[in-house]
């Protein structure tokens, strides 16, 4: 199965029904995208497909073949971090960090759709779960990245 | 190690150990440089500090990073004393020597009343007991990350190790340059002299290894440049670009993946198993039966090419489950039996002052209330997992754990090898909260890997397995009775509670046999050696402090008090859940204090202040929270404030919650936290932990419950056990009380006051008291 991930086309040895999450993690070794619940409830597995935030644990690879997949590994580079990653560091968001890849991918999709999100926009878009309770800083970092004062 | 264990096991142990103690206790934990693996060009100066060829300081890290910021906090201690920038400190997993054991973890668990601790000036009962327990803990050296104790434990030893290393480095420069030590200074890891001579740590390291440190002095508080100031966490960059390696992210050449399926009925086991359909599926290797390791439930694992293949196959195994031999568990029935235990059993008296019986008989005003807290799951976002490889009599483990030594011991037992034959790598933890003090998943991984020798296997649990096979926070029931005089002064407080003992169950399932015997001996001899200490937590079913903490040690100056706890054994696996006994007991006690305030018709903050005349530290924390929250000022209609104050793990936290009801749903808008956690290492991390604790505790207060029916846990995934979402998160503000005391805990103390603060605000709104968790407001409000 051919997949386009972070701008590169890769061959993944995956059956069509395999969720994208496991193709990324266990077939391609891209472990930045996390498993949390397997039922699209927690958002730890969020990636972007053609720009949209998608929960990869319930998305079969057959549904994303030929589409543009972006994972946390493709959000920025060490030399040129995404403005959300810079904001995440400035606001010191992560604690355990396990949910943060999904948070960032959901936030990236939000900012593209709404460059200046309101609190209500953030409430609606960020439905990812964080067990450590970093939400307050997630909100502040999104606003910082959007250029608003947190 | 073995000799020491024997010495201890020879009973009369604690007494024997006291004799012959000469060196400073902290110095005994410095260790020799050979305890650290020397990489290319690296020089180890003691068991904690190495100097790398690039001049970086490498710190031996015995504690697990699970979000609490411990890797950064300990690195700050080393950087401070070595005069290097924080970014120049790298961390490396510590070995298994006893110097890395967490001594504070044992000491913080001593069952003392806080007012007794506050009062003691000289070398009395409290200090004597702490000294002896500290000494024994140093001998045994259990390396665990828990009890909010990491910074308290590292505070003396890591600073001393770094200061000692610095002294040797500067001493080496002095000898090399033939210049007096006093004339040398260190800035950013470079030693220099006014004459212009200078050299980096890397240059001096090999001479330093042979240079005695001389008289080592820790920096004066006034000279600190790092401690007490916010600093960015070392682990954050890797957590925003996906490169951080959690347990599930371990990748080993040629590895396989295993899925676990345990008997849905707690304590049950698989009966007839037909795996033929599962094994015929593509990408599936084999099935491995799993006994009930580490107090867990029995089941099986399926090995496959990916986690997905393995999980699909595990679901396809046809199995007849057998229930628990002693009968199916049921949480409703357990709740009734706990209430009955309170009414009919005496339990153990953890605290007594005055005469509650006598006062209770004659007091003009009485308040009585029953409180209840349910079982709760940890729900770390990264489910339980461990990667293992077994080959040629050796075991290699990669495991997100709070207790590496215990996992190592469990692995050795399962594989039938010596402890020395187990290599263990601690990964980052995707949440811990006490769940990862257990060893069940590590034992399972080793058992599975044994069936495919030479191949690494990553064993992982689904969310459903994680939710239904946790070691839960125990259910607790308490009856609280207070009396007041005609003027509204509180005369007496009597608390009777019941719930499962926590510590003995944990000790018995995780400790290797030898250590269990040692600790049992210690637990038996403790009361003889430590005057008045009859409830030292251990493997034996003696009074368990962890179940009663937060009820027997209230700071309030109530003349007549008695606190009894009945330790039960329900059969539901129970464990340490962030802030342990405090988490539910503070809900009971701090809600009830508000009930007494209501009876006295006194404002809840003022009521507490009056009872805290002799507890100035507590009162200062309460006052700070009240001030920051604007206590007493007007709020918009529909909002109400509630307050709670609680000490746990050496730190005092007060919280004021602003609460509204939104179509019958509790909505918390703002929580103001004040904390006295002694000396603060990184205030930024303290604020993070307060914010996180509020969200964690609010999830539990509003939604958290685990129900057991017909032996099986009913809540299986986040949809039926919701966590607080971003939308529901209150604004959290943190203020810190300045202090020069040694550091207390930070990871847990923010949890206990939250539920009672919200419950107390709810009462203000509805005038109906909610005494059950989770908080379901009365419907007619």
Q: Exposed/middle/buried for B664, CB within 10 Å: 0-12, 13-18, 19+?
A: exposed
Q: Exposed/middle/buried for B254, CB within 10 Å: 0-12, 13-18, 19+?
A: exposed
pLDDT for residue B136: 73
* B380/chain A closest Cα distance in angstroms: 6
Query: In chain A, which residues have their Cβ closer than 8 Å to the Cβ of B432?
Result: 96
* A65/chain B closest Cα distance in angstroms: 19
Q: Of A118 and B107, which is predicted with more confidence? A: A118
Pairs across A and B, CB distance < 8 A: 177
What lies within 8 Å, CB to CB, of B683 at 6+ separation is B228, B229, B230, B736
What lies within 8 Å, CB to CB, of B636 at 6+ separation is none
Q: Which two tokens stand for residue B105?
A: 């973890």
Query: In chain B, which residues have their Cβ closer than 8 Å to the Cβ of A22?
Result: 306-308
Whether B719 and A39 lie within 8 Å, measured CB to CB: yes
The dihedral sign for the CA sequence B219, B225, B226, B230: positive
For the CA atoms of chain A, what is the radius of gyration?
15
By CA distance, what is B243's nearest residue in A? A32
Confidence of residue B781 (pLDDT cuts 50, 70, 90): very low
Which fold, B247-326+384-460? Aldehyde Oxidoreductase; domain 4 (3.30.365)
Question: Does residue B7 register a pLDDT over 90?
Answer: no
pLDDT for residue B104: 84
* B299/chain A closest Cα distance in angstroms: 21
CA B356 from centroid of its chain's CA atoms:
34
Query: In chain B, which residues have their Cβ closer than 8 Å to the Cβ of A92?
Result: 232-233, 236, 684, 688
Residues above pLDDT 70, as percent of chain A: 98
What lies within 8 Å, CB to CB, of B535 at 6+ separation is B111, B348, B350, B542, B543, B544, B545, B548
pLDDT tens figures, B122-142: 667 777 777 777 777 777 778
Comparing B247-326+384-460 with B331-376+473-502+544-766, is the CATH topology the same?
Answer: yes
Mutate to test the interface with B, among A25, A39, A133 (most CBs of B within 10 A): A133
Query: In chain A, which residues have their Cβ closer than 8 Å to the Cβ of B307?
Result: 22, 25-26, 35
pLDDT tens figures, B220-273: 999 999 999 999 999 999 999 999 999 999 999 999 999 999 999 999 999 999
- What is B331-376+473-502+544-766's CATH number? 3.30.365.10
Nearest to B307 among A22, A44, A136 (CB): A22
Contact assessment for residue B537 and residue B549, using Cβ atoms and an 8 Å cutoff: no
Confidence of residue B779 (pLDDT cuts 50, 70, 90): low
Whether A22 and B306 lie within 8 Å, measured CB to CB: yes
Question: Does residue B652 register a pLDDT over 90?
Answer: yes
pLDDT tens figures, B558-580: 999 999 999 999 999 999 999 99
What mean pLDDT do residues B721-736 have? 97
Backbone angles phi, psi at B448, to 5 degrees: -65, -45
* B448/chain A closest Cα distance in angstroms: 18
Please state whether the peptide bond connecting residue B774 to the residue before it is cis, i.e. omega within 30 degrees of 0: yes
Query: In chain B, which residues have their Cβ closer than 8 Å to the Cβ of A75?
Result: 241-242
Distance CA B721, CA B159 (A): 43
H helices of B83-189, in order, are 103-107, 114-119, 125-140, 150-177
Sheet holding B49-51, edge to edge: B43-44, B49-51, B57-61, B89-93
Of B655, B677, B693, B654, residue with least CA distance to B737? B677
Query: In chain A, which residues have their Cβ closer than 8 Å to the Cβ of B733?
Result: none
* A20/chain B closest Cα distance in angstroms: 10
pLDDT for residue B141: 77
pLDDT tens figures, B384-439: 999 999 999 999 999 999 999 999 999 999 999 999 999 999 999 999 999 999 99
Of B704, B691, B679, B685, residue with least CA distance to B750? B691
Whether A99 and B379 lie within 8 Å, measured CB to CB: no
Whether A137 and B246 lie within 8 Å, measured CB to CB: no
Query: In chain B, which residues have their Cβ closer than 8 Å to the Cβ of A30?
Result: 242
pLDDT for residue B118: 64
Query: In chain B, which residues have their Cβ closer than 8 Å to the Cβ of A72?
Result: 241-242
pLDDT tens figures, B741-764: 999 999 999 999 999 999 999 999
Nearest to B726 among A19, A22, A135 (CB): A135
* B241/chain A closest Cα distance in angstroms: 6
Whether B380 and A131 lie within 8 Å, measured CB to CB: yes
Distance CA B517, CA B251 (A): 38
Distance CA B144, CA B436 (A): 10
Q: Which of B131-140, B177-186, B604-613, B646-655 has the lowest mean pLDDT?
A: B131-140
What lies within 8 Å, CB to CB, of B103 at 6+ separation is B29, B134, B137, B138, B153
DSSP helix/strand/coil, B328? coil
* B68/chain A closest Cα distance in angstroms: 6
Q: Which two tokens stand for residue B444?
A: 């399972």
Contact assessment for residue B667 and residue B737, using Cβ atoms and an 8 Å cutoff: no
Q: Which residue has the tokens 């594989």?
A: B415
Q: Which of A123-127, B163-167, B405-409, B534-538 has the lowest mean pLDDT?
A: B534-538
pLDDT for residue B686: 98
Q: Which residues pair with residue B673 across a beta bridge?
A: B655, B734
Backbone angles phi, psi at B455, to 5 degrees: -105, 130
Question: Does residue A102 register a pLDDT over 70?
Answer: yes
What mean pLDDT do residues B630-649 have? 97
Query: In chain A, which residues have their Cβ closer than 8 Å to the Cβ of B73?
Result: none
Whether B718 and A128 lie within 8 Å, measured CB to CB: no
Distance CA B553, CA B350 (A): 9
pLDDT for residue B180: 96
What mean pLDDT do residues B542-549 have? 87
The DSSP secondary-structure symbol of B698 reads: H
DSSP helix/strand/coil, B329? coil
CA angle B189, B33, B149 (to 5 degrees): 80
Of A52, A34, A42, A63, residue with least CA distance to A131? A42
Q: Of A117 and B25, which is predicted with more confidence? A: A117
What mean pLDDT do residues B38-65 have? 96
The DSSP secondary-structure symbol of A56 reads: G
- What is A83-145's CATH number? 1.10.150.120
pLDDT for residue B1: 32
Whether A135 and B731 lie within 8 Å, measured CB to CB: no
Confidence of residue B532 (pLDDT cuts 50, 70, 90): low
pLDDT for residue B630: 98
Query: In chain B, which residues have their Cβ closer than 8 Å to the Cβ of A94?
Result: 67, 233, 235-236, 239-240
Distance CA B371, CA B770 (A): 9
pLDDT for residue B5: 33
Q: Exposed/middle/buried for B360, CB within 10 Å: 0-12, 13-18, 19+?
A: middle
What mean pLDDT do residues B198-224 have? 96
* A94/chain B closest Cα distance in angstroms: 6
Nearest to B719 among A41, A71, A131 (CB): A41
Q: What is the ipTM of this complex?
A: 0.98
pLDDT for residue B123: 65
Query: In chain B, which residues have their Cβ closer than 8 Å to the Cβ of A88?
Result: 236, 240
Q: Of B348 and B538, which is predicted with more confidence? A: B348
Assign domain A2-74 to its CATH architecture.
Answer: Roll (3.10)
Q: Give B624-631 contacts, CB < 8 A, sequence gap 24+.
A: B624/B654, B624/B674, B624/B735, B624/B737, B625/B654, B625/B655, B625/B656, B625/B672, B625/B673, B625/B674, B625/B735, B626/B654, B626/B656, B628/B656, B628/B672, B628/B674, B628/B733, B628/B735, B629/B656, B629/B658, B629/B670, B629/B672, B631/B605, B631/B656
By CA distance, what is B385's nearest residue in A? A35
Nearest to B240 among A29, A85, A130 (CB): A85
Q: B23-102+141-240, which class in CATH? A: alpha beta
Q: Which two tokens stand for residue A141?
A: 């970092």
By CA distance, what is B684's nearest residue in A? A92
Residue B117: HSE in the Cβ half-sphere, 13 Å Cα cutoff: 19
What mean pLDDT do residues B474-492 have? 97
By CA distance, what is A14's nearest residue in B? B306
Distance CA B212, CA B199 (A): 19
Whether B694 and A33 lie within 8 Å, measured CB to CB: no
Nearest to B430 among A29, A41, A98 (CB): A98
Domains of chain B, by residue range, sit at: 23-102+141-240, 247-326+384-460, 331-376+473-502+544-766
Contact assessment for residue B302 and residue B278, using Cβ atoms and an 8 Å cutoff: yes
Mutate to test the interface with A, among B66, B381, B426 (most CBs of A within 10 A): B381
Distance CA A24, CA B171 (A): 53
* A71/chain B closest Cα distance in angstroms: 9
Whether B428 and A96 lie within 8 Å, measured CB to CB: yes
By CA distance, what is A25's nearest residue in B? B249
* B537/chain A closest Cα distance in angstroms: 28
Whether B382 and A34 lie within 8 Å, measured CB to CB: yes
By CA distance, what is A134's nearest residue in B? B692
Question: Does residue B208 register a pLDDT over 60?
Answer: yes
Query: In chain A, which residues have their Cβ closer than 8 Å to the Cβ of B242?
Result: 30-33, 71-73, 75, 101
Whether A35 and B307 lie within 8 Å, measured CB to CB: yes
Whether A95 and B68 lie within 8 Å, measured CB to CB: yes
* A66/chain B closest Cα distance in angstroms: 22
What mean pLDDT do residues A52-78 have? 96
What mean pLDDT do residues A45-62 have? 98
Of A74, A135, A67, A139, residue with least CA distance to A105? A74
Distance CA B508, CA B267 (A): 16
Residues above pLDDT 90, as percent of chain B: 84
Nearest to B235 among A19, A22, A97 (CB): A97
Distance CA B553, CA B648 (A): 10
Confidence of residue A150 (pLDDT cuts 50, 70, 90): very low
Distance CA B541, CA B565 (A): 13
> What size, in residues, is chain B?
781
Sheet holding B365-373, edge to edge: B348-353, B560-568, B490-500, B476-484, B365-373
pLDDT tens figures, B573-626: 999 999 999 999 999 999 999 999 999 999 999 999 999 999 999 999 999 999
Mutate to test the interface with A, among B308, B313, B722, B748 (most CBs of A within 10 A): B308
Query: In chain B, which residues have their Cβ closer than 8 Å to the Cβ of A85?
Result: 240-241
The model's pTM is: 0.95
pLDDT tens figures, B88-100: 999 999 998 999 9
What mean pLDDT do residues A19-46 have? 98
Whether A37 and B693 lie within 8 Å, measured CB to CB: no
pLDDT tens figures, B445-470: 999 999 999 999 999 999 999 999 99
């Amino acid at each position: 199965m051919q997949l386009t991930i972070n701008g590169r086309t890769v061959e993944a040895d995956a059956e069509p029904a395999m969720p994208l999450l496991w193709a990324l993690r266990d077939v391609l070794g891209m472990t930045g995208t996390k498993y949390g619940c397997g039922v699209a409830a927690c958002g730890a597995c969020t990636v972007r497909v053609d720009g949209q935030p998608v929960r990869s644990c319930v998305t079969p690879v057959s549904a994303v073949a030929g589409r543009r997949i972006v994972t946390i590994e493709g959000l920025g580079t060490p030399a040129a971090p995404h403005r959300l990653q810079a904001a995440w560091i400035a606001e010191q968001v992560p604690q355990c960090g396990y949910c943060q890849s999904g948070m960032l991918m959901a936030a990236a999709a939000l900012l593209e759709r709404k460059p200046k999100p309101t609190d209500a926009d953030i409430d609606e878009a960020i439905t990812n779960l964080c067990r450590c309770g970093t939400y307050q800083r997630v909100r502040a970092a999104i606003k910082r990245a959007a250029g608003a004062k947190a | 190690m073995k000799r020491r264990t024997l010495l201890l096991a020879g009973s009369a142990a604690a007494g024997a150990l006291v004799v012959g103690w000469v060196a400073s206790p902290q110095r005994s934990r410095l260790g020799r440089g050979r305890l650290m693996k020397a990489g290319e060009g690296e020089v180890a100066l003691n068991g904690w500090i190495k100097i790398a060829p690039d001049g970086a300081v490498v710190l031996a890290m015995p504690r697990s990073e699970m979000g609490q910021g411990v890797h950064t906090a300990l690195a700050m201690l080393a950087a401070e004393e070595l005069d290097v920038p924080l970014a120049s400190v790298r961390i490396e997993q510590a070995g298994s020597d006893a110097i890395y054991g967490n001594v504070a973890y044992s000491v913080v668990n001593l069952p003392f009343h806080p007012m007794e601790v506050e009062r003691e000036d000289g070398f009395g009962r409290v200090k004597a007991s702490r000294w002896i327990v500290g000494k024994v803990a140093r001998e045994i050296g259990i390396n665990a990350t828990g009890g909010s104790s990491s910074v308290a434990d590292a505070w003396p030893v890591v600073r001393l190790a770094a200061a000692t290393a610095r002294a040797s480095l500067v001493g080496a420069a002095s000898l090399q340059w033939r210049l007096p030590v006093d004339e040398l200074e260190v800035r950013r890891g470079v030693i220099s002299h006014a004459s212009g001579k200078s050299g980096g740590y890397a240059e001096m390291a090999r001479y330093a290894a042979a240079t005695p440190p001389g008289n080592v002095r820790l920096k004066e508080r006034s000279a600190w440049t790092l401690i007490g100031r916010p600093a960015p966490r070392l682990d954050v960059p890797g957590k925003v670009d996906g490169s951080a390696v959690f347990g599930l992210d371990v990748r080993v050449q040629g590895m396989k993946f295993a899925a676990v399926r345990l008997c849905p009925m707690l304590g049950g086991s698989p009966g007839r198993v037909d795996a033929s359909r599962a094994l015929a599926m593509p990408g599936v290797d084999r099935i491995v039966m799993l006994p009930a390791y580490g107090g867990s439930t029995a089941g099986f694992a399926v090995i496959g090419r990916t986690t997905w293949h393995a999980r699909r196959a595990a679901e396809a195994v046809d199995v007849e489950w057998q229930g628990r031999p002693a009968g199916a568990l049921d949480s409703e029935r357990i709740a009734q039996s706990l209430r009955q235990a309170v009414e009919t059993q005496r339990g153990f008296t953890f605290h007594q002052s005055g005469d509650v019986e006598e006062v209770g008989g004659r007091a003009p005003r009485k308040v009585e209330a029953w409180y209840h807290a349910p079982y709760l799951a940890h729900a770390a976002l990264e489910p339980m997992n461990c990667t293992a490889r077994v080959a040629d009599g050796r075991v290699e483990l990669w495991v997100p754990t709070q207790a590496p030594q215990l996992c190592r011991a469990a692995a050795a037992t399962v594989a039938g090898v010596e402890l020395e034959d187990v290599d263990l790598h601690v990964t980052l933890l995707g949440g811990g909260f006490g769940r990862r003090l257990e060893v069940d998943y590590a034992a399972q991984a080793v058992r599975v890997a044994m069936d495919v020798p030479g191949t690494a296997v990553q064993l992982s649990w689904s969310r459903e397995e994680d939710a239904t096979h946790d070691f839960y926070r125990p259910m607790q029931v308490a009856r609280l009775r207070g009396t007041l005089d005609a003027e509204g002064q509180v005369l007496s407080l009597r608390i009777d509670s019941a719930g499962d003992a926590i510590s003995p169950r944990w000790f018995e399932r995780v400790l290797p046999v030898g250590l269990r015997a040692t600790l049992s001996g210690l637990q038996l001899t403790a009361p003889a050696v430590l005057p008045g200490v009859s409830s030292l937590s251990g493997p034996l079913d003696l009074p368990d402090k962890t179940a009663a903490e937060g009820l027997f040690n209230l700071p309030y100056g109530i003349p007549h008090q008695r606190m009894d706890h009945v330790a039960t054994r329900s059969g539901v696996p129970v464990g340490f859940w962030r802030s342990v006994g405090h988490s539910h007991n503070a809900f009971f006690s701090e809600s009830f204090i508000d009930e007494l305030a209501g009876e006295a018709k006194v404002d809840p903050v003022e009521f507490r202040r009056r009872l805290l005349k002799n507890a100035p530290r507590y009162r200062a924390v309460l006052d700070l929270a009240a001030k920051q929250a604007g206590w007493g000022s007007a709020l918009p209609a529909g909002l109400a404030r509630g307050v709670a104050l609680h000490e746990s793990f050496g730190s005092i936290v007060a919280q004021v919650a602003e609460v509204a009801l939104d179509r019958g749903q509790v909505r918390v808008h703002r929580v103001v936290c004040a904390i006295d956690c002694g000396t603060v290492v990184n205030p930024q991390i303290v604020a993070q932990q307060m914010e996180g604790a509020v969200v964690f505790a609010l999830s539990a207060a509003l939604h958290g419950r685990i129900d057991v029916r017909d032996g099986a846990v009913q809540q299986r995934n986040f949809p039926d056990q919701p966590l607080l979402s971003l939308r529901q998160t209150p604004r959290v503000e943190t203020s810190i009380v300045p202090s020069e005391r040694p550091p207390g805990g930070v990871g847990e103390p923010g949890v206990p006051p939250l539920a009672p603060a919200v419950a107390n605000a709810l009462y203000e709104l509805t005038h109906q008291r909610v005494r059950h968790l989770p908080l379901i407001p009365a419907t007619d409000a």
